Amino acid sequence: MAKRLFTTNGVTWTTTNQGSQATGGGYMSLVGASSTQTTDILEVLFSGKATSSTVAAIQLARQGTLGTGGAVTLAVPNADGPMHPATAALAAPVVAAVDYTTNEVIPSNTVTDAKLQLGLNLFGGIIRWNASPTQQWTMVGNTAPLGGTVLWNPAVLALGFPGTEAFLNSVPSVLNQNAVVFGTPMAPNTELTAAAVGRLPAGL
């Protein structure tokens, strides 16, 4: 397998309405490179750098529609590369992007697509989601929704209690069943750092 680290610094994390294109330079996108590729996301880390109290409703979600026109090449200070120096070059590495040339990524707005809630206060707040064994977020293939994942900042909707969020992780008590994850949202930011680790089977 090849473990990679996708890191951004300076992404705007501009809020986006549900079902709309995310703002270019305001999200992190991962898309499989082939129809048979399986990718596990093992960790997500945010380090808030805002200069005043600012709440963000960050979500890890499936992509309802993939970006088009080709991913814009990552530029410094963003990075995507292997965690081990001896990692062999992959013939088809996962496509990591924060912007697309023609149309941006549209996060899934489907009730049955998983959404991992990672809301935090960006005024020095830190949130780290680290998957326990068998609890990783998995992508399969290179088409929406299962082959694409986006880390984005959804606009706040009308909630009973502003800023409230909920999250439930359930595992069916049947052998060989897949774990299921649910979530909900929160609002914007200035600058922060996020990291996602993708794990790929060897030879892909």
pTM of the model: 0.80
- Mean pLDDT for the chain overall: 82
Number of domains in the chain: 1
Best mean pLDDT range from 97-111, 168-182, 189-203: 97-111
Nearest to 39 by CA among 96, 118, 78: 96
Per-residue pLDDT tens digits for 35-55: 999 999 999 999 999 999 988
Nearest to 193 by CA among 32, 1, 56: 56
The arithmetic mean of pLDDT across residues 147-153, rounded, is 97
**Which pLDDT does position 92 carry in this prediction?**
86
Q: How confident is the model at residue 166 (pLDDT cuts 50, 70, 90)?
A: low
Angle at 9 between CA 6 and CA 11, to 5 degrees: 100
> Taking 60 as the threshold, does the pLDDT of residue 95 lie above it?
yes
Q: How confident is the model at residue 162 (pLDDT cuts 50, 70, 90)?
A: low
> Taking 60 as the threshold, does the pLDDT of residue 29 lie above it?
yes
d(CA 203, CA 2): 9
**Which pLDDT does position 188 carry in this prediction?**
36
Q: How confident is the model at residue 86 (pLDDT cuts 50, 70, 90)?
A: confident
> Taking 50 as the threshold, does the pLDDT of residue 177 lie above it?
no
**Which pLDDT does position 2 carry in this prediction?**
82
Share of the chain above pLDDT 70, in %: 75
**Which pLDDT does position 85 carry in this prediction?**
87
Token pair, residue 140, equals 């399969």
Per-residue pLDDT tens digits for 109-142: 999 999 999 999 999 999 999 999 999 999 999 9
Q: Which domain holds residue 75?
A: 2-200
Q: Which residues of 78-115 are buried (b: 16+ CB within 10 A; e: fewer)?
A: bebeeeeeeeeebeebbbbbbbbeeebbbbbbeeeebb
